[in-house]
Amino acid sequence: MEIRILDKEEQQRIYPEAYEMLAAADNEFVPPLSSRSSSTQQDFSQSATNDSIIQYFDQLKTQRFAAVFEDGALIAFVSYKENYSCREIAPEELPNIYLSTLIVSPKARGKGVTTALYKKLFSEYENVNIFTRTWSTNTAHIKILDKYGFEVIKVLENDRGNGIDTIYFKKSHK
């Protein structure tokens, strides 16, 4: 397993594989990625009118990627924004990175790939705060975030539907 923060050229080379992974995982997200307008969308009460994930993926391509390869094939990636602020992440929190989309191929799940990706990001960005968000029923991801000391900074109740909250997390640099 090889984990790298990709430069722009490397990132462009993996776009076809990343898109296929994104399309395959579409409905594993709440709400599905194909119903969103971007990876930083903040209002989930209205779905995007586009019924594909092309718009979502085009927005991802403006972000940085960290990727995991096995035998040269992409098996996971995380996209992220540097120095991001929004309603839940104040400008005073800069510098930071905001992890927007994390995908692990089904064949690589349960093998520590997500943990390895987080460790790579922690070492690469040891002097900045790291933020992410997920939905309240994504217990596997929440367990990993808890394991690595991410703290809940905001809960938006029923943000993604009845009984499904959006939870924002922060890992402070030390």
- CATH code for position 49: 3.40.630.30
- The per-residue pLDDT of the chain, averaged, comes to 89
Residue 173 lies inside a defined structural domain of this protein = no
Please give the pLDDT value at position 2: 95
- Chain centroid to Cα 163, Å, comes to 22
Instruction: Provide the total of helices (H) and of strands (E) in the chain, helices listed first.
Output: 4, 7
Residue 120 lies inside a defined structural domain of this protein = yes
What pTM did the predictor assign?
A: 0.88
Residue 159 lies inside a defined structural domain of this protein = no
**Using one digit for the tens of pLDDT, what is the confidence trace for 123-134?**
999 999 999 999
H, E, C per residue of 54-115: HHHHHHHCCCEEEEEEECCEEEEEEEEEECCCCCCCCHHHCCEEEEEEEEECHHHCCCCHHH
Nearest Cα residue to 170 out of 74, 65, 97: 97
Q: What is the DSSP letter of 168?
A: E
Residue 9 lies inside a defined structural domain of this protein = yes
Confidence grade of residue 38 (pLDDT, cut at 50, 70, 90): low
Residue 58 lies inside a defined structural domain of this protein = yes
Please give the pLDDT value at position 7: 96
Confidence grade of residue 111 (pLDDT, cut at 50, 70, 90): very high
Q: Which domain holds residue 66?
A: 2-127
Residue 171 lies inside a defined structural domain of this protein = no
Q: What is the DSSP letter of 7?
A: P
Radius of gyration of the chain (CA): 15
User: How many other C-beta atoms lie within 10 A of the C-beta of residue 34?
Assistant: 19
Domains held by the chain: number: 1
Please give the pLDDT value at position 48: 45
Residue 42 lies inside a defined structural domain of this protein = yes
